[in-house]
Amino acid sequence: MTLPASALPIDPPPAFLGVTRSATGKLWRDRLDPRGAARALAIAQRYQLPEMLARVIAGRGIEIDAVADFLDPTIRKLMPDPYTVTQMEAAAKRIADAAVKAEKVAIFGDYDVDGATSAALLAWHLRHCGLDPLIHIPDRIFEGYGPNVEAIRMLAEKGATLLVTVDCGTTSLEPLAEARRLGMSAVVIDHHQCGDELPEVDALVNPNRPDDLSGLGHLAAVGLVLITLVAVNRELRQRGFWSAELPEPDLLSMLHHVALGTVADVAPLTGLNRAFVAKGLIALRRRDHVGHTALMDVSRLNGPPEAWHLGFMLGPRINAGGRIGRADLGVRLLLEGDISEAARIAAELDRLNTERRVIEQMAEAQAEAEALASLGLEDKGAVIVTASEGWHPGVVGLVASRLKEKFGRPAFAIALEPGGIGTGSGRSISGVDIGKVVRQAVHDGLLIKGGGHAMAAGVTLRKERLGEFRAYLETALSADVGKSRHLNELLIDGAVSARGVTTDLVATLNRAGPFGSGNPEPVIALPSHQLVYADEVGQAHLRLRFKSGDGAIVNGIAFRSVGQKLGDALMQNRGQPLHVAGSLAVDRWQGAERVQLRVIDVAVPDPGPAMIR
């Protein structure tokens, strides 16, 4: 009897370049299984694309008929009808009412980049309508996340009749109830996960609320604000509000804000988000926005901005105001029209960012030592929970992120205040939802407050309950962490030789961008290239050079690798052939362009033919 093909056992694909355990302990796999490889071939043939680009596109799950739209994502084609979002119509009408009646509107934003860009976008629109909105960004330390009763009362005293919260508000039941008691209307525009109870407001626009079927839960708050303003524009158009003297504002002219907030909030770069960022990067390259241009200049950004610049250069500077300076500095910069004032604010944010880095490094060193002690020689434990007095609450999220990267498991860092209360942040790994567990811990009375989403969460707890919280997380998350860490793979998009690493190749691969969360940067392998140079540079980075068998050289850099497994492997194998994996970028220095490989992993080749020729 002959079995049908579907019943035959499927062998897992072999390890890429035979690497079953790399320097960082990973198994290398081809991102494409046989079916994906066949789709890549079909994409290359139908659209006359280079093979490597076709492999990258297929590796992001793009079907053959969707390739043209993927290569040119347009907002016009991807923009939904705003009214598919629950309570969007009520929100648009209430904001339109405020514009028509010239009400005093208060904007309450979060202190991160998504909150700053959301507040700036909404304020710009209201100003265009002739209003002068109040803007309140809470102090991270003294007020904490989201609306608070004291701030609501202050805004009411200043005459606000409409409160609009952006990137916060979904779980702020008591402060929003206070707004209602004071006679204020309230509209919430937020994307954070919801609790069991929703606030009583005029409209709660949140695609992650249980009764929303829009499918827009992946949007950052700033993207949601843009869609809300599309609805407001339409509502005001129907009321005859716009005229020759007051034309309808061009929302697409503000895509700088949407791109920055989306990337900095690590929203997945798929669908509408990807279109927002692609078009927002084009807007940033025009250098036509005073605040963003000042921010790019103070960040010493060489060449046209790319998505990673927003996440690693521009975003942290906006964030620095909310972390260790004045929380409203970011919004002020994004709304500033005077070039010299914008330069002054940007310089202050740059200074605060440098100060933030020093504070973060001190806390990070302490946290790493505590984590190593708790994990022990056996590397046991599903979750890392570190805490200390003296840590600045503004950097604990960054510390948690570093711990998560270094130890490959969810991590929390908690700053303990003199009164015995700790405020902290957690960061998670793929497949482990910490937001859900944190909300359950609040429900169970273990935390004073907490919330977030799958990959990031914030917590407030009493010092004496730290051990209990750590045990609670271990119990709740150990199974998911075990599964996630078992799949310790590095997915490779393709292999090239140093001779093929050119600016043309980078430009070709970038057609599948912008890259980030949800649309990962292509990972390219150099098979058996000799490591001819390795030396420390900057803050724990390694500058590298690799040579192929035909003598071609490619420059590389391994960020923050000194003292880590990757850095140790590189230093121990100087002069030796290595399989190298990383992503390609163009390094611009003094007008010259060179391709640089950002090395993320290496492996010693099996004995055999050493160099590819």
Task: Identify whether residues 50 and 90 lie together within a single domain.
Answer: no
Give the pLDDT band of residue 608 (cuts 50, 70, 90): low
Same-domain check for residues 593 and 497: yes
Question: Would 204 be classed as within a structural domain?
Answer: yes
Question: Could you give the CA distance from residue 208 to residue 300 in angstroms, rounded to a whole number?
Answer: 37
Q: What is the pLDDT of residue 298?
A: 97
pLDDT at residue 80 tops 50: yes
Mean pLDDT, range 386-392, rounded to an integer? 93
Report, as an integer, the average pLDDT of 592-599.
Answer: 93
- pLDDT tier, 544 (very low <50, low <70, confident <90, very high otherwise): very high
Angle between helices 221-238 and 255-264 (to 10 degrees): 150
Interatomic CA distance for residues 390 and 412, integer angstroms = 16
Residues 97 and 43 in one domain: no
Q: Is the pLDDT of residue 591 over 80?
A: no
Task: Write down the pLDDT at residue 484.
Answer: 84
The answer, yes or no, to whether residue 9 has pLDDT greater than 80, is no
Q: Residue 133 domain-assigned?
A: yes
Q: Decide if 370 is inside a domain.
A: no
The verdict on residue 361 lying in a domain is no
pLDDT band of 611, cuts 50, 70, 90: very low
What mean pLDDT comes out for the span 386-410? 92
| Mean pLDDT across 308-312 | 94
* Burial of 56 from C-beta contacts in 10 A (0-12 / 13-18 / 19+): buried
Q: Which residues of 206-215 are buried (b: 16+ CB within 10 A; e: fewer)?
A: bbbbeebebe
**Is residue 317's pLDDT more than 70?**
yes
Q: Which DSSP state fits 313? A: I
Tens of pLDDT, residues 405-426: 889 899 999 999 888 999 999 9
The least confident of 7-21, 139-153, 287-301, 444-458 is: 7-21
Q: Indicate whether 5 pLDDT > 50.
A: no
pLDDT of 613 strictly over 70: no
Return d(Cα 445, Cα 460) in angstroms, integer. Answer: 11
Average pLDDT score over the chain:
93
**pLDDT recorded at residue 334:** 98
- Kindly state the percentage of the chain with pLDDT values over 90: 84
Looking up residue 605, the CATH number of its domain turns out to be 2.40.50.460
Alpha carbon distance 590, 216 (integer Å): 43
Question: How far is residue 331's CA from residue 292's CA, in Å, rounded to a whole number?
Answer: 11
Q: Are residues 17 and 42 in the same domain?
A: no
Map residue 357 onto helix, strand or coil: helix
Cα(206)–Cα(219) distance, rounded to whole angstroms? 10
Percent over 70 (pLDDT), the chain: 96
Which residues span the domain enclosing 93? 78-350
- Quote the CA–CA distance of 590 and 309 in Å, as a whole number: 18
> How many CA atoms are closer than 13 Å to the CA of 78, on its beta-carbon side?
21
Q: Which two tokens mark 121?
A: 């976008």
Residue 149 has pLDDT above 80, yes or no: yes
- Predicted confidence at residue 376, as pLDDT, reads 77
Mean pLDDT of 476-482: 93
Residues 177-223: tens digit of each pLDDT? 999 999 999 999 999 988 789 999 999 999 999 999 999 999 999 99
Identify the helix (H) or strand (E) that includes residue 592: strand 592-603
Contact 453, 435 (CB under 8 A): yes
Would you tell me the crossing angle of helices 149-157 and 173-181 to the nearest 10 degrees? 30
pLDDT for the residue 32: 96
pLDDT band at 12 (very low <50, low <70, confident <90, very high): low
- Pick from 550, 558, 560: nearest CA to 530: 550
Residue 17 has pLDDT above 50, yes or no: yes
**Secondary structure class of 193 (helix, strand, coil):** coil
Q: In terms of C-beta density within 10 A (0-12 exposed, 13-18 middle, 19 or more buried), how is residue 588 classed?
A: middle
Please indicate, yes or no, whether residues 229 and 159 belong to a single structural domain of this protein: yes
- Asked whether 322 and 349 are in contact (CB, 8 A), the reply is no
Looking at 487, 516, 531, which one is the last position of a domain?
487
**Are 92 and 74 within 8 A, CB to CB?**
no
Cα–Cα distance between 116 and 343 in angstroms, integer? Answer: 18
State the pTM of this model: 0.91
Tally the C-alpha atoms within 13 A of residue 489's C-alpha that lie toward its C-beta: 15
The helix (H) or strand (E) run that includes residue 441 is helix 434-443
Pairing of strands 105-109, 489-492: unpaired
Are 442 and 382 in the same domain? yes
Residue 199 sits in the same domain as residue 257: yes
Give me the pLDDT at residue 74, please: 95
Q: Which residues pair with 541 in a beta bridge?
A: 537
Residue 369: inside a domain: no
DSSP-derived secondary structure for 121-161 = HHHHHHHHTT---EEE---TTTT-SS--HHHHHHHHHTT-S
Q: ∠ CA 77-79-83 to the nearest 5 degrees?
A: 140
| Eight-class DSSP state of 540 | T
Q: What is the pLDDT of residue 6?
A: 46
Token code pair at residue 447:
């935390």
pLDDT of residue 325: 77
The angle subtended at Cα 72 by Cα 68 and Cα 76, nearest 5°, is: 110
Q: 544 is written with which tokens?
A: 């590298």
Number of structural domains found in the chain: 4
Q: Whose CA is closest to 404, among 343, 484, 302?
A: 484
Dist CA 524 CA 209 (whole Å): 39
Query: What would the mean pLDDT of 580-588 be, rounded to a whole number?
Result: 93
Residue 13 contacts residue 31 (beta carbons within 8 Å): no
Angle among Cα 126, 132, 134 to the nearest 5 degrees reads 95
CA 195 to chain centre: 23
202 and 295 within one domain: yes
Tell me, yes or no, whether 192 and 91 share the same domain.
yes
> Taking the C-alpha atoms of 589, 594, 599 and 604 in order, what is their torsion angle to the nearest 10 degrees?
-140
Check which CATH number belongs to the domain holding 399 and give it.
3.10.310.30
Tracing tokens 């069991």 back to the chain, one arrives at: 196
Please report which confidence band the pLDDT of residue 511 belongs to, taking 50, 70 and 90 as the band edges: very high
Phi-psi region of 575 (alpha: psi -120 to 50; beta: other; left: phi over 0): left
| 359 assigned to some structural domain | no
Instruction: Flag whether pLDDT at 10 surpasses 60.
Output: no
For residues 346-368, give the mean pLDDT. 94
| Positive or negative torsion for Cα 74, 75, 77, 78 | positive
Query: In terms of Cα–Cα distance, which of 199, 140, 613, 162 is closest to 417?
Result: 140
Q: Are 505 and 496 in contact (CB under 8 A)?
A: yes
Last residue of some domain: 487, 512, 544? 487
| pLDDT for 144 | 83
More confident residue, 549 or 487: 549
**Same domain (yes/no): 165, 266:** yes
Parallel, antiparallel or unpaired: strands 449-452 and 456-462 = antiparallel
**Which one, of 555, 527, 552, lies nearest residue 541 by Cα?**
555
83 and 130 part of one domain = yes
Q: Is the distance from CB of 295 to CB of 349 less than 8 angstroms?
A: yes
CA–CA distance, 454 with 451 (Å, rounded to integer): 10
In a domain, 368, yes or no: no
Mean pLDDT of 429-450: 92
Distance CA 385, CA 400 (A): 9
Asked if 54 and 108 sit in the same domain, the reply is no
Confidence of residue 13 (pLDDT cuts 50, 70, 90): low
> Is residue 327 over pLDDT 50?
yes
Residue 249 lies in a domain: yes
Last residue of a domain, one of 487, 513, 535: 487
- The better pLDDT of the pair 496, 13 is held by 496
Residue 486 has pLDDT above 90, yes or no: no
